[in-house]
Structure 1
């Protein structure tokens, strides 16, 4: 009898759980971007799993109505002229209300501001010093170790994302095309220029994992392909991400020129063309 009672209670809990899950409201972002031209306007479109009224909470402090009628399709154009933000990356959250008056909050999404005018600086800081420090960190080369034919070669490398591709709902771009130049401190090892694509996969508890492929050349006969994986561990100043990368390089026509690389650096994409 006791076991039967426990089974009934368990079934009720499970039923209640699934009922509560199906009663929630899911949000699917279709498009979210801010216009670079003035007046800077946040264009947002999304649909919900149920007919609801919606509001948007931006940067944890600005709340604006989106849909005043119960619907599944939602869109808004929000003028950012009088908004001030502390960062180029701005969070937003959808708040929905169903016909019973129940409120639901979506996951936190993020947009990237394509301008700098309205970004606040912390009290007491010098904005020029902040910009110069950011530029110094952005162009700082990364230490890189190369393992080539039993040799360990130190090098400095700098990767610059040129074009980034964004998909809705992520704190990082879905991928980017980049240029990279590596200088090797070895007389018989040539400097290398790279061009390639890196795909970014956000991961819980760290920042991301990024597989990529590059083509490289030294313009002197050494041409090949690099296969790599980067891990983004944590952010610095909310702009840079500390990462580590492993890369395997090969020359398809010559197996003797295969070599490995391990590097540590800072990733940021605020000087890129965004799509």
Structure 2
């Protein structure tokens, strides 16, 4: 009888130990989850955007709750590092402090709500209508400057029959074959048309159509290109032009200053030959881009 009672007490003790250990483990897991807020600010150049970033010691699905705006999903997979930009334009005209919370869902399905955090919508110093006008003026000015650079012809020297003549040339990229990668600064290649005017040359006006292949030099942020074009003056002078060029200076983050050598060779009669050296600006921003 005593033996049965002892066995019963042992079993009860073991069950109590398991229950207490499980409860302690759950409580310990809940205490182990921590969230560290890194960034919490409204962009100075765009006050309608709230920037948040944070880290957790355990991977979780996290949402951000702003009582004044709603709940915003931050990630669709378990992660311990999150960056989120939230549109707060609905409260942009109501400057002040706003509360927000992080709601984290752990792997086991538990939901952990953070302490209260606060972000601030600043007082707008510039009226929105004036800001809009300033932005329009800025974009108009930028377009004018960019358009002026794009229309600017390249200048060069044409050596024909032992004579050097000043020349003006304008090549216009029509179709560029590019990449979706953000790490590539130039297209792979492009097709272009162009016009070449040679002052006092035996052939003064040439129309061109050609192809250029670009090889990007990432360490120098420049490129080397090789190409082949055809030319005609529509009065009997027709030929081809192999060419090579390289860029060496970036202008306005969009244009490249380049140096080009081109050799013109008439195909039928073979009488017209010309060596051309040109200095000009290149951009593919105004062409039709196809991402491969």
TM-score, normalization by structure 2: 0.51
What is the Cα-based RMSD across aligned positions, in Å? 2.9
Does 2:171 match 1:156? no
| Structure (1 or 2) with the greater helix fraction | 2
CA deviation map 1:162-187 (0-9, x unaligned): 00001343211000000110111116
Q: What SS does structure 2 have at the residue aligned with 1:254?
A: coil
Does 2:178 match 1:178? no
Q: What SS does structure 1 have at the residue aligned with 2:272?
A: strand
Match of 2:271 in 1: 256
Q: Is the 8 A contact 2:238 2:268 kept in 1?
A: no
Does 2:213 match 1:199? yes
Cα distance in structure 2, aligned partners of 1:66 and 1:214? 51
Match of 1:225 in 2: 240
Match of 2:53 in 1: none
Of 136, 141, 152, 2:153 maps to 141
1:223 Cα shift?
A: 0.3
Aligned residues: 165
Equivalent residues in 2 for 1:1-275 (5 A)? 68=77, 126-169=138-181, 170-186=184-200, 188-203=202-217, 204-275=219-290
- Is there any run of 5+ residues in structure 1 with no aligned partner, and where? 1-63, 71-81, 83-119
Cα distance in structure 1, aligned partners of 2:169 and 2:145? 20
Cα distance in structure 1, aligned partners of 2:149 and 2:192? 17
1:140 Cα shift?
A: 0.5
Q: What SS does structure 1 have at the residue aligned with 2:271?
A: strand
Cα distance in structure 1, aligned partners of 2:164 and 2:178? 37
Q: What SS does structure 1 have at the residue aligned with 2:141?
A: helix
Q: What SS does structure 2 have at the residue aligned with 1:146?
A: strand
Cα distance in structure 1, aligned partners of 2:225 and 2:75? 35
Cα distance in structure 2, aligned partners of 1:141 and 1:248? 19
Cα distance in structure 2, aligned partners of 1:238 and 1:213? 27
Which segment is superposed worse, 196-205 or 208-217? 196-205
Q: What SS does structure 2 have at the residue aligned with 1:256?
A: coil
Cα distance in structure 2, aligned partners of 1:69 and 1:223? 65
- Is there any run of 5+ residues in structure 2 with no aligned partner, and where? 1-72, 80-86, 88-131
TM-score, normalization by structure 1: 0.54
- 1:67 to 1:164, Cα distance in 2 relative to 1, 3 A: farther
Cα distance in structure 2, aligned partners of 1:224 and 1:207? 30
Larger radius of gyration: 2
